[in-house]
Amino acid sequence: MSEQQDFAGKVVLVTGAAQGIGRVVATQFAARGAQVALHYRANQAAAEKTLAGLAGAGHSLQQADLTDPTQARQLVETAVAQHGRLDVLVNNAAIFAAHPIAKVSYDEWQTAWTRTLNTNLLAAANVSFCAAQQMIKQGGGRIVNISSRGAFRGEPDAPAYGASKAALNAMSQSLAQALAPHNIFVYVVAPGFTETERVAYRLDGAEGDGIRRQSPLNRVAKPEEVARTVLFLASEGTDFLTGGIVDVNGASYLRS
């Protein structure tokens, strides 16, 4: 089977796929023969641009606010209704909101924690639950969750983000144990700084060189490098990696 056909006949749902890492993940899956259900929350123009750029045919655009449990369920149900099955779920949708404890008000602190946990953790948990029900019915599948090195090293200016990603790691490992008997395998990819639209202002600004120097490679990750790791884990033959967390941070943070 050629490299371009690795995912032929597979259906992949990617959340937060309008731009950034999600866009590149969706693009690479489509290039390998998958049908992609491309989720977005609000940026319809960017999502439609991503959809138009996907190789192959049979892809779909799915809008949902995943912080609403009903919409999270409907996202999976609609994708399955349109595509007939669901082989791979990539939980990529996330937000990052600065809320340094010494500088924000109590109301701002509460708002940041609620929004971040609802988006980065509870939404992924609900979409995973609904996807797992479909995967159990069809005899198997794969879930790849996008975490962050911030889950390990801490995020002093955005502690809710670091906490949400640490909880996502723990949830993933729990689900890996619970779902393995159903032939469903769960993985985590934990990137460091990645060259996306969301952080371009920081990389192009005064702190850019310092950020790049965090890695001995003197650069940040390209989204294509993160996406290739996602596709590897979602491939056949990686069953015994279930529960694993793969760092993609250029040795900018090493954990034991």
User: Cα 186 to chain center, whole Å?
Assistant: 12
What are the φ/ψ torsions at residue 199 (nearest 5 degrees)? Answer: -115, 10
Distance CA 210, CA 214 (A): 7
Q: Which residues are catalytic?
A: 161
Distance CA 34, CA 88 (A): 10
Q: For the packed helices 123-138 and 159-179, what is the interaxial angle rounded to 10 degrees?
A: 20
Closest C-alpha among 125, 46, 48, 37 to residue 78: 37
Q: For the packed helices 20-31 and 44-52, what is the interaxial angle rounded to 10 degrees?
A: 20
Distance CA 45, CA 18 (A): 8
Residue type, 56: G
Distance CA 136, CA 28 (A): 26
Q: In 84-189, which ranges are continuous DSSP H helix?
A: 106-117, 123-138, 150-153, 159-179
